[in-house]
């Protein structure tokens, strides 16, 4: 029962996705190109954010603590 | 291009009535406190409440709509690329090889749009109907196996589709009943074709009878009728104005008016939709500055407006237009194609609706294609005007006169509306239409759709916005046995795609309820209930900034 509910909801969600991105009116091969492109882009965004965001955050923390923080705190931050 | 604004997409967008509305509303709110006297004066022009609202497009919806068009455009370029490199078969007309170096014919935006966007949802238009276009129609089923490039019939007929699309306002599109009988009799008596023009030997007694009847119906001195509504506009405006004249035209005027104005050779200036400040400014500038360069005064100034605008469902602010026209001594051309029969307590159009004097409108134009369930157009006005047009109008001199069964249909239905057939049937239909309109509009608004236009207008546009939803709405509604008209660019600005319902007096409460139930369901499925009930009174003019504020200066 619950599984059916979730399935209905997912198909509704997919329908909304089709309508909003206009894939609804694309031909199947265009749809697959579009979905592939979109998935690739999303995957790349997630992957690169996984790789780069921690580094950037650390650098940013270092930078700002260098400006605002005292000597003492920054060493603490680096050590931790 | 049915509209002035649609020449470029951007111009269509600039004049969005919504924007307009917001601006005006603010103006009104500002000036309200300052001019209480004007308020009374101005409010006195209207004898009835004038509720016209255009809800603003929600920001998110607008962004998603543009995104959708962006995606479709990208795929359009991809397909065009494939077509030019012959990777994909091209189904549509292209430049011929022999004409390689000529001016390209198929390269503008509208061709791109037709090829790559319209084609994808083309199954929603031009569906063959095989019954009388009454309140229920039979639609021929068809299918496509090459993505809408060609259609084939399945041989089946979809029966009893509720018709929410025909302009059959008073339900006179019938194949039985007294109108049809009278037409059939007329066909037996006179035949179908007249084979000559009005000026030669195509002038029949029935034509004369019709013209007298129309004049009486409108309350004008004389009237003239033509075989086609579109040609009535496009051929008579050139007869009335010419070089050295100025036409002030509403930006959303029908393409027949646009064509007529262009053919006339007069200078055309466009005012914002139903915006009296804009009109007054143009009038004033025209009088102060005269013609460009020479600064001679304009020979004539003609204001061209429609009664009900067929895409917005708005009603012209006629009392104000007439006040302005009198103040600045301009002429007024009123196209009542949709409003005649459909508006007013007696079904006599906007003039009747506002309780005005028909003699204040110089040229009353209208068509018989809508409320009367027939074909053709008329022009009503003073005797002098009609005599002049009889001699000078191209569609009087060069077009074959109206077919008499068609004329008979108009005579019978018009007499019915006027109550001259000895029944109250016509009056009942007019009242039924007004009631249906109010009911249908109220229910749709309650459901949370964005509905445009005046609360009394039987043309009901329901906003869809996103391109994929245009196709989906039409298909889903037909699946549920409701026939609707969906409209997109170039008939509307590109983001304001809509479905347009035309309420009819022939719709019973059950039909309207059935239609509303399905619309509600499809609305939920497609997430169309955009409304947040932030109504922007486009022009609640009795309280708005007045057009006469500077009379005293
Ligand atoms: C405002 C307006 N004028 C003229 C016409 C043309 O009338 P007909 O269809 O009779 O040619 C139409 C028809 O759609 C219209 O909406």
What was the pLDDT predicted at B439?
95
Pair (B150, B221) in one structural domain: no
For a mutational test of ligand 1's pocket, the pick from B2, B227, B337, i.e. the residue with the most ligand atoms closer than 8 A to its C-beta, is B337
**pLDDT tier at B16, thresholds 50, 70, 90:** very low
What are the b/e assignments for B436-474, b being 16+ CB within 10 Å? bbebbbebbbebbbbbbbbbbbbbbbbbbbbbbbbbbbb
CA of B337 to the centre of ligand 1 (A): 6
Between B72 and B22, residue with greater pLDDT: B72
Interval B227-232 mean pLDDT: 94
Pair (B383, B434) in one structural domain: no
The total number of structural domains in chain B stands at: 2
Pair (B269, B401) in one structural domain: yes
Pair (B396, B487) in one structural domain: no
Domain range holding B364?
198-418
Domain presence at residue B27: no
DSSP-derived letter for residue B297 is P
* Closest-CA distance of chain B to residue A59, Å: 35
- Could you tell me which residues of chain A have a Cβ less than 8 Å from any Cβ in chain B? 15-16, 18-27, 30, 34
Domain presence at residue B13: no
Pair (B461, B355) in one structural domain: no
For a mutational test of ligand 1's pocket, the pick from B254, B333, B372, i.e. the residue with the most ligand atoms closer than 8 A to its C-beta, is B254
Domain presence at residue B182: no
> Which among B389, B418, B447 is the end of a domain?
B418
Q: Is the shortest distance between the CB of B546 and ligand 1 below 6 Å? A: no
Q: Is the shortest distance between the CB of B306 and ligand 1 below 6 Å? A: yes
> Which among B386, B418, B450 is the end of a domain?
B418
User: B526–A19: do the CB atoms touch at under 8 Å?
Assistant: yes
What was the pLDDT predicted at B248?
96
Sheet holding B136-143, edge to edge: B136-143, B152-163, B482-483
Domain presence at residue B372: yes
Question: Which of these, B36, B73, B48, lies nearest to B455 by C-alpha position?
Answer: B48
Select the residue of B67, B471, B527 nearest A25 (Cβ to Cβ).
Answer: B471
Looking at the predicted structure, is the pLDDT value of residue B221 above 50?
yes
Domain presence at residue B186: no
pLDDT digits (tens, 9 = 90+) for A4-56: 999 999 999 999 999 999 999 999 999 999 999 999 999 999 999 999 999 99
Looking at the predicted structure, is the pLDDT value of residue B549 above 60?
no
Pair (B276, B327) in one structural domain: yes
CB pairs A-B closer than 8 Å:
42
% of chain B with per-residue pLDDT over 70: 88
What was the pLDDT predicted at B349?
93
Closest residue (by CA) to atom 3 of ligand 1? Answer: B337
- Could you tell me which residues of chain B have a Cβ less than 8 Å from any Cβ in chain A? 64, 67-69, 71-72, 75, 78, 120-121, 147, 466-469, 471-472, 525-527
Q: Is the shortest distance between the CB of B373 and ligand 1 below 6 Å? A: no
- Averaged confidence pLDDT in chain B: 86
Sign (positive/negative) of CA torsion B259, B260, B264, B269? negative
Q: What distance in Å separates the CA atoms of residue B494 and residue B471, rounded to the nearest whole number?
A: 15
3-state secondary structure of B489: coil
CATH number of the domain residue B515 falls in: 3.90.1150.10
What was the pLDDT predicted at B528?
92
DSSP-derived letter for residue B98 is G
Backbone angles phi, psi at B88, to 5 degrees: -120, 150
What was the pLDDT predicted at B553?
33
CATH number of the domain residue B281 falls in: 3.40.640.10
CA of B229 to the centre of ligand 1 (A): 5
> Which among B375, B390, B418 is the end of a domain?
B418
Between B206 and B29, residue with greater pLDDT: B206
Domain presence at residue B473: yes
Pair (B212, B310) in one structural domain: yes
ipTM: 0.78
pLDDT digits (tens, 9 = 90+) for B148-199: 999 999 999 999 999 999 999 999 999 999 999 999 999 999 999 989 998 8
pLDDT digits (tens, 9 = 90+) for B321-364: 999 999 999 999 999 999 999 999 999 999 999 999 999 999 99
Pair (B357, B446) in one structural domain: no
Whether the Cβ atoms of residue B411 and residue B247 lie closer than 8 Å to each other: no
Looking at the predicted structure, is the pLDDT value of residue B464 above 70?
yes
Q: Is the shortest distance between the CB of B377 and ligand 1 below 6 Å? A: yes
Pair (B386, B476) in one structural domain: no
Pair (B256, B384) in one structural domain: yes
Domain presence at residue B188: no
Taking each helix axis from N to C terminus, what angle separates B509-526 and B425-447, rounded to the nearest 10 degrees?
20
User: B71–A16: do the CB atoms touch at under 8 Å?
Assistant: no
Q: What atom of ligand 1 comes closest to residue B228's alpha carbon?
A: 11
The DSSP-derived string for B380-403 is EE-HHHHHHHHHH-HHHHSSBPPP
CA of B230 to the centre of ligand 1 (A): 5
């Amino acid at each position: 029962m619950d599984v059916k509910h979730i399935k209905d909801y997912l198909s509704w969600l997919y329908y909304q996705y089709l309508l909003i991105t206009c894939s609804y009116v694309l031909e199947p091969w265009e749809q697959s190109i579009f979905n592939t492109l979109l998935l690739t882009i999303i995957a790349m965004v997630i992957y690169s954010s996984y790789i780069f965001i921690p580094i950037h955050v650390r650098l940013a923390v270092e930078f700002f603590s260098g400006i605002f923080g005292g000597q003492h705190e920054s060493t603490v931050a680096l050590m931790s | 291009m049915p509209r002035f604004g649609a020449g470029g997409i951007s111009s269509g967008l600039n004049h969005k009535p919504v924007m307009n509305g917001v601006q005006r509303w603010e103006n009104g709110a500002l000036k309200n406190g300052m001019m209480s006297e004007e308020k009374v004066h101005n409010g006195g022009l209207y004898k009835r409440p004038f509720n016209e609202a255009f809800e603003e497009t929600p920001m998110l919806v607008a962004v998603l709509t543009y995104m959708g068009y962006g995606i479709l455009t990208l795929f359009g370029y991809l397909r065009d690329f494939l077509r030019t490199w012959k990777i994909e078969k091209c189904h549509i007309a292209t430049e011929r090889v022999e004409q390689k170096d000529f001016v390209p014919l198929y390269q503008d935006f509208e061709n791109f749009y037709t090829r790559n966007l319209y084609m994808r949802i083309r199954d929603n238009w031009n569906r063959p109907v095989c019954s009388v276009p009454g309140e229920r129609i039979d639609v021929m089923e068809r299918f496509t196996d090459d993505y809408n490039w060609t259609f084939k019939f399945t041989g089946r007929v979809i029966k009893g589709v509720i018709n929410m699309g025909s302009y059959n306002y008073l339900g006179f599109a019938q194949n039985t009943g007294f109108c049809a009988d009278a037409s059939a009799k007329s066909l037996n008596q006179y035949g179908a074709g007249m084979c000559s023009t009005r000026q030669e030997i195509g002038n029949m007694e029935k034509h004369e009878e019709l013209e007298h009847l129309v004049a009486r119906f409108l309350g004008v001195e004389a009237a003239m009728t033509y075989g086609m509504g579109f040609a009535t506009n496009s051929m008579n405006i050139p007869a009335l104005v010419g070089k050295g004249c100025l036409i002030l035209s509403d930006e959303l005027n029908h393409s027949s008016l646009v064509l007529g104005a262009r053919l006339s050779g007069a200078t055309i200036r466009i005012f914002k939709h139903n915006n009296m400040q804009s009109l007054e400014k143009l009038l004033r500038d025209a009088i102060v500055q005269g013609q460009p360069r020479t600064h001679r005064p304009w020979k004539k100034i003609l204001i061209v407006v429609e009664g009900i605008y067929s895409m917005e469902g708005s009603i012209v602010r006629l009392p104000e237009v007439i006040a302005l026209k009198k103040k600045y001594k301009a002429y007024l051309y009123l196209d009542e194609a949709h409003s005649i029969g459909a508006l007013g307590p007696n079904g006599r159009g906007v003039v009747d609706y506002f309780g005005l004097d028909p003699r204040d409108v110089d040229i009353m134009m209208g068509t018989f294609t809508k409320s009367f369930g027939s074909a053709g157009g008329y022009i009503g006005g003073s005797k002098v005007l009609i005599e002049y047009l009889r001699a000078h109008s191209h569609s009087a001199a060069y077009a074959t006169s109206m077919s008499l069964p068609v004329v008979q249909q108009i005579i019978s239905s018009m007499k019915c509306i006027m109550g001259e057939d000895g029944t109250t049937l016509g009056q009942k239909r007019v009242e039924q239409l007004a009631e249906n309109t109010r009911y249908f509009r109220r229910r749709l608004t309650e459901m949370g759709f964005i509905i445009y236009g005046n609360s009394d207008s039987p043309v009901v546009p329901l906003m869809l916005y996103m391109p994929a939803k245009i196709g989906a709405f039409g298909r889903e509604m037909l699946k549920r046995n409701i026939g609707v008209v969906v409209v997109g660019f170039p008939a509307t600005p590109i983001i304001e795609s809509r479905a347009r319902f035309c309420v009819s007096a022939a719709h019973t409460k059950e039909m309207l309820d059935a239609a509303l139930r399905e619309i509600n369901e499809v609305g939920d499925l497609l997430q169309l209930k955009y409304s947040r009930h932030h109504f922007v009174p486009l022009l609640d003019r009795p309280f708005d900034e007045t057009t006469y504020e500077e009379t005293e200066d």
